[in-house]
Amino acid sequence: MTHSSIVETQPNSSEHGKELAELFQEDNGKYSTMRAMSFIALIAAIVFGAITITSKDSEGKYITTAFLVAAFAPKAVQKYAERM
């Protein structure tokens, strides 16, 4: 005897997921790829910073600085350009 059933799943309505998605929204409600890119660059800076601290190589500080600039400068320039 074979038994087949369709498993219905409810959409994930996790509050954590909604809060994370709201992090990438602009004031007008649209999702911002600039914010997503800045967030990724910030995570990369944290990772490279941790690698730099734990290694004896001092060249990592340049990569970490570049990722920090990439995380914050584009959004600041965008806000300035929107105001002009």
| Tens-place pLDDT, residues 19-47 | 666 777 777 778 778 888 888 888 988 88
Q: What is this structure's pTM? A: 0.62
- Identify the band that residue 70 occupies on the pLDDT scale cut at 50, 70 and 90: confident
Distances (CA, A) of 3 to 6, 7, 8, 9, 41: 10, 12, 16, 19, 50
